[in-house]
């Protein structure tokens, strides 16, 4: 999970680039008006992932990664605050009679002496693989409008009824919420790991992680 969060932050860094000089500046100017470049940072690329002869194809790939990691992070953060708020699935997780709420929250639910059974972890990974290969991808020729549009011609919750301005606004909201969630879930993971070191902060919404 730590590596996923790190990759998420690297992917998100490509969305934003400080002013450059010379040829690099000319290239970057092509992306200054892309969705997500907004005050106060503007187009900000601290890792220089768009330096040099960067094509639109490379930018689209980085944006695709950023959006997908943002969506994963939003689900992860929501899962954290939901389970830490005391909401769990009913019933048992295995035939031994272990209930869902008998396992710890956060990283400890996946790694550690009190983690869920291996069979449960395998099922989670299998589900992620199924979603990744079968649904969470951009199918060419399916009429998708933008990078990260996974409707693929069969999922539409009223998107086509919005005008272009509303569509851009909603895409910007998703992008920014995803960026915030990537930092949020990384922060929770870091705090959870430093609790054994004697630092147990009372975090907003989440409370104590111990």
* CA distance linking residue 210 with residue 196, whole number of Å: 9
Sign of CA dihedral 38, 41, 45, 51: positive
Per residue in 119-141, pLDDT (tens digit) is 999 999 999 999 888 888 887 87
| Residue 22 in this model has a pLDDT that exceeds 70 | no
pLDDT at 28: 58
Other Cβ atoms closer than 10 A to 39: 5
pTM of the full structure: 0.77
Closest CA to 92 of 120, 122, 128, 126: 120
- The pLDDT value given to residue 186: 94
The answer for 158, left when phi > 0, alpha when psi is -120 to 50, beta otherwise, is left
74 within 8 A of 179, measured Cβ to Cβ? no
Instruction: Give the confidence band of 45 by pLDDT, cuts at 50, 70, 90.
Output: confident
pLDDT at 20: 41
Range name among 24-33, 173-182, 191-200 with the lowest pLDDT average: 24-33
Residue 204 CA to residue 1 CA, distance in Å, equals 22
The pLDDT assigned to 165 comes to 93
CB atoms within 10 A of CB 18: 12
Cβ proximity of 70 and 8 under 8 Å: yes
Q: What are the tens digits of pLDDT across the range 141-193?
A: 777 889 888 887 777 788 888 999 999 999 999 999 999 999 999 998 888 88
> Measuring CA to CA, which residue among 60, 79, 72, 38 is closest to residue 206?
79
Q: Say if CB 186 and CB 5 are below 8 A apart.
A: yes
Q: What is the mean pLDDT of the chain?
A: 82
């Amino acid at each position: 999970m730590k590596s996923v969060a790190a990759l998420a932050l690297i992917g998100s860094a490509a969305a934003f680039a400080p002013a450059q000089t010379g040829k690099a500046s000319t290239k970057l100017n092509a992306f200054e008006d892309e969705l997500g470049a907004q005050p106060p940072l503007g187009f900000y690329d601290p890792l220089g992932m768009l330096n040099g002869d960067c094509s639109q194809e490379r930018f689209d790939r980085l944006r695709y990664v950023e959006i997908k990691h943002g969506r994963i992070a939003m689900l992860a953060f929501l899962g954290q605050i939901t389970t830490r708020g005391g909401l769990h699935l009913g019933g048992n997780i295995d035939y031994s009679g272990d209930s869902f709420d008998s396992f710890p929250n956060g990283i400890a639910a996946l790694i550690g002496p009190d983690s869920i059974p291996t069979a449960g972890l395998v099922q989670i990974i299998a589900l992620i693989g199924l979603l990744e290969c079968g649904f969470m991808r951009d199918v060419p020729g399916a009429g998708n409008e933008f990078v990260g549009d996974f409707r693929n011609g069969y999922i539409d919750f009223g998107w086509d009824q919005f005008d272009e301005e509303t569509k851009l606004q909603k895409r910007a909201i998703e992008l920014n919420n995803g960026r915030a969630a990537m930092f949020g879930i990384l922060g929770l993971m870091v705090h959870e790991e430093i609790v054994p070191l004697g630092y147990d902060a009372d975090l907003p919404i989440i409370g104590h992680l111990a």
